[in-house]
Amino acid sequence: MLTLLKGGRVVDPLNGRDEVGEVWIEDGRIVAPPQGKAPDRTFDLSGKIVMAGAIDIHSHIAGGNVNTARLLLPELHRARMAPQLPLGTAKWSTYETGVIYAGMGFTTVVEPAVAPHQALQAHLELSDIPIIDKATLTILGNDDFLLSLLRDNESPAAVADYVAATLAATNSLGLKCINAGGAEAFKYNARTFGLDDVVPFYGVTSRRIVEGLQQALTDLKVPHPLHLHMNNLGVPGNVETALATIEAARGMPLHLAHMQFYGYGSEGSHGFSSAAAQVAASVNSHSNVTIDVGQVMFGQTVTISSDVLRQFSATGGAKPKKSVIYDGDANGGGIVPYLYREGDFVNALQWAIGLELFLLVEDPYRIFFTTDHPNGAPFTSYPDILALLMSRQKRAEVLARVPQDMLSLTTLPSIDREYSIHDVATMTRAAPARLFGFKDRGQLAPGAVADVAVYTPGDDFAKMFRRAHLVFKDGDLVVRDGEISHYRWGKALKVMPGFDRAINRRLEDYYERHYGISYNMFAVPEHILPRENPFEEVACAR
């Protein structure tokens, strides 16, 4: 079917396009205007804004921690029909996740933290999420096999082979490292762990773990750089950790996750202040570094993380008063519900710090739109965050309500910048495509997948982005005025870097010796998943 979208303002930063024009779709792809062919259907989008489908690079939508949070907080669930997995009836179910994302114009979402041993379950969940494409990042950095390679001074090639074998077995898009070495040190009763602290028994530092994983991904030519959850998350004064980590990257590509939780100084009577300006200045001067924000919004949420050390220390602030901490192979994890309150000094400053980062980082291709769903806020808050970024007046209204003694400890009241539609399209479409090496999405050039979101502009930016006027996924019209009009199934995106298969024999021996089971127990074979051709490969640079 040949489809014409005409008359809308087409905003496509990757191709330098911001104009009233046309977009043509055929066989699930964007095509050049055909010569001598009439469209089978035409959508007059005069007065509308046309963008590529949005890409969320960091949202916890599947895996062990997500399921544990669902079980811990049944009061936040509501009954839904058509469950396909046991947790399909949860409020934040796999099925509803796809519905809400698509209604806002998102067509690709990355789950950024899946333990290798939980990859099969995560992919089964992802296969139950309708409409959108998905991907996972696999966690390494506290596992015995990697730490042993580093302790024994094995070659960078051996580390790279192990990383590649893990990515291949888990059908992942890239690699996540969470508090490198910190979770392992937690097992030896460590309650703090920094960049140059040494992991007991292994004799390696967090710095060395990060360097080893960075080098492996570079050698493997995986498009997405190491996705790093740094040490000392959420601790006053942890800006020093963030700045030191940026320097420790040594100019190599590095992505720093949920940076808002690291933008903390220790000034003022509360011993807590914004250091977002320092972080932004460092990011601006290090072109090898990208960050996502992890914006806090006020309201009830639940924090979920494989940073078991941090989550253990956060249990005292749980609201409601219950939590789950588990210490297993590699990272373990923790689930701690939390209520961010507008009248709370610390929470208000966290809210401001995230917005400062959004507004002070200069290159829109190096800062990414996230709440670390659900840690800072659920992804349903995205439209409200966009409204805050696009309107200084909206920010001022909130600043007038929060504790006034925090205003002197943040630069937010002095920032005039307001995001434009072009800025939003860059941050949520073009930049993520570049970060992950996507050649076929985040843009509207001929050959791209026909993932298109159409919005009705207006003064109410939150309303505009909460309910897309139209959304096309692979050329199928799936959303009309924020409501699902057609259901379909997306793909799971993965990389397949080359590696020496001898590492698989080492891993088979390792699993047999330590667990008495086959290494293949944790692989994600395509035939087990309930969708036809469930994966799509994203090419590594050759």
- How far from chain centre, in Å, is Cα 15? 24
Place of tokens 């699993």: 511
Domain boundaries, the chain: 51-493, 494-537
What are the tens digits of pLDDT across the range 43-74?
Answer: 999 999 999 999 999 999 999 899 899 889 88
What are the tens digits of pLDDT across the range 495-504?
Answer: 999 999 999 9
Cα-Cα-Cα-Cα torsion 95, 100, 102, 108, nearest 10 degrees, comes to -70
What are the tens digits of pLDDT across the range 361-402?
Answer: 999 999 999 999 999 999 999 999 999 999 999 999 999 999
CATH number of 51-493: 3.20.20.140
Tokens of 53: 């489908």
Confidence of residue 81 (pLDDT cuts 50, 70, 90): very low
Least confident of 54-58, 279-283, 293-297, 519-523: 519-523
The pTM (predicted TM-score) of the whole model is 0.96
Reported for 29-36, long-range contacts at CB under 8 A and 24+ positions apart, including other chains, are 29/446, 29/447, 29/448, 29/449, 29/450, 29/475, 30/444, 30/445, 30/446, 30/447, 30/448, 30/449, 30/450, 31/446, 32/446, 34/2
Confidence of residue 77 (pLDDT cuts 50, 70, 90): low
What are the tens digits of pLDDT across the range 424-459?
Answer: 999 999 999 999 999 999 999 999 999 999 999 999
